[in-house]
Amino acid sequence: MSLLLGLDVGTTSIKAVVYRPDGIAVASAAAPTPTHVPRPRWAFYRAEELWATVVDVIRRALVDVPDPSQVVSVSVASVAEAGVLLDAQGEATVDVIAWYDTRTKPQADWLGEHVGADVLFASTGLSLQPIFSLCKMLWYREHEPEAWRRSVHWLLIDEFVAFKLSGERGSEPSQASRTMLMNLHDLKWDQEILEKVAIDERMLPPLVASGTRLGPVSARAAAETGLPQTAQVATGGHDHVCGAFAAGVTRPGQMLNSLGTAEAVFLPTSAPLTDPKAGHQGYTQGAHVAGGGYYVFGGQYTSGACIDWVRRVLGDGTDPLAYDATIAAAGRVPPGSNGVLFLPHLRMANPPYVDSRSRGAFVGLTVETGREEMARAVLEGIAFETVSTYEPLAEYPQVTMPASAVAIGGGTRNKLLMQIKSSLSGLPYHILEAQEATALGAALLGGVGAGVFANSDEAIAAMRYGQSQVLPVPEDAVIYERIKREIYQQVYPALAPLSQEISDLQNSLIDADGE
């Protein structure tokens, strides 16, 4: 029997999962993503540590595979935006700026002044935000000139792992969509933008379709990982897009809610949005890994991260409050958290706002407020933010609003959060019961590349995973609709000026401390 290996290089963990062609997992392993945080709002990876972790999880997953020679394909899904600069020998020249690191805001501001936010949106479909690859490349050029001078290749993280596995470079549209260097309309590297920012196209890998065979596992990678050299390495894609693919969310009228450390709200479209307003609202879009389609993408920079944060806040000062205890505490409070609201902007604002200086906040605290209200308010804040992210898209003709949502990711195991999301949105939530949907999406693309499936439609049709369903509670929905309309929608606009002043103060204190 043929087996498919999917890799998921995520924000907090790196996973290797081996699947049968019907989507049933037979072996898996995971390890924390090695991340360095030298100062607030900075984070980076080291390429050699990422690769060592990938090798580790592959080897451990294969321990549970009786015959590893049955693995016929390997493909990688990963976080987007973060890229590895390589020299002519294929060695990293500098640390890898994490996707969510916002040190690159000055470079984003420079792009706005010298290229123009609307010009960039019209070509790439991306709103001007500091997280995108182009901003990182400009930062390296300014602050790491020697490393930049020695670099000849830029590879996103999934492309870097595929390169280490096969020795071949290749990019596909779902990841290239997040660079701010690909024209979304013709799916080619944008020559006008490259010329304006003086970046040589030869640094970028060739653009090919998702699920394209790059080549077999190299002898060196086989020796390191235990994979057979007969296994074919294929292009994968952006983690959230691969998850949508595995969930079958490929057509307009569907919506994926992918819940992890961050959260994605993902709606397939038949054509890119062209109204610049969507860019000003912070929405991004890109090409789907399912050939020929597009998507519009919102979400939250901190979703699961907010839950981890409140666990630390509610802990005993040494250890965070246990996850189950946090959710149990939240469950003891009625909908509305007794009037306490939480704005989940622990890194920055989320669409439809573009504001890297926004800050999180609890609103409505009183002397009666306890950990139960705070815990539930965080869950409700995440859910309010989800709805606030996708509802404004209704005005765009390319977007068909969903009648239900499909949810994937670790956050789906939080049954209370899923119930709150369903009641607050008024949508049935279908919880995908596939093991590690993002890795599964990558594995299916690998199967396409290896010829196990003729195309992406055939791959999805072969899946045999189940789904559970969460339905809105009508009386809760009434409460949430009132809070959303009368209070929550006013919280960010009211706090934004003060949050921006606080952000400036924080930055000045951090800069002074670093001197």
Domain ranges (residues) in the chain: 3-242, 253-282+299-400+478-510
What span, in angstroms and rounded, lies between the C-alpha atoms of 170 and 394?
35
Mean pLDDT of 29-39: 97
Which of 379, 254, 240 lies closest to 306 in space, CA to CA? Answer: 379
Average pLDDT over residues 238-260: 93
| CATH code of the domain made up of 3-242 | 3.30.420.40
CB neighbours (10 Å) of residue 316? 7
Q: Which CATH superfamily is domain 253-282+299-400+478-510 in?
A: ATPase, nucleotide binding domain (3.30.420.40)
Mean pLDDT estimate for the chain: 96
Rounded to the nearest angstrom, the gap between the alpha carbon of residue 19 and the centroid of all alpha carbons in its chain is: 22
Query: Pairing mode, if any, of strands 44-45 and 96-97?
Result: antiparallel
**3-class SS of residue 243:** helix
| Mean pLDDT for the stretch of residues 406-432 | 96
**C-beta of residue 177 within 8 angstroms of C-beta of residue 286:** yes
Q: What is the pTM of this model?
A: 0.85
State the pLDDT at residue 336: 98
Q: Which H or E run includes 469?
A: strand 467-470
What SS3 state is found at 299? strand
> In the structure, what pLDDT confidence band is assigned to residue 465 with cuts at 50, 70 and 90?
confident
* pLDDT value of residue 514: 58
280, pLDDT greater than 70: yes
pLDDT at 274: 87
Task: Assess whether pLDDT exceeds 70 at residue 515.
Answer: no
HEC per residue, 197-235:
HCCCHHHCCCECCCCCEEEECCHHHHHHHCCCCCCEEEE
- Please say if the pLDDT value at position 291 is more than 70: yes
Cβ within 8 Å of residue 334, ≥6 positions away: none
Is there a common fold for 3-242 and 253-282+299-400+478-510? Answer: yes
pLDDT at residue 513 is higher than 70: no
Cβ-count burial of 81 within 10 angstroms (0-12 exposed, 13-18 middle, 19+ buried)? buried
Distance CA 490, CA 365 (A): 17
Paired with 43 in beta bridges are none
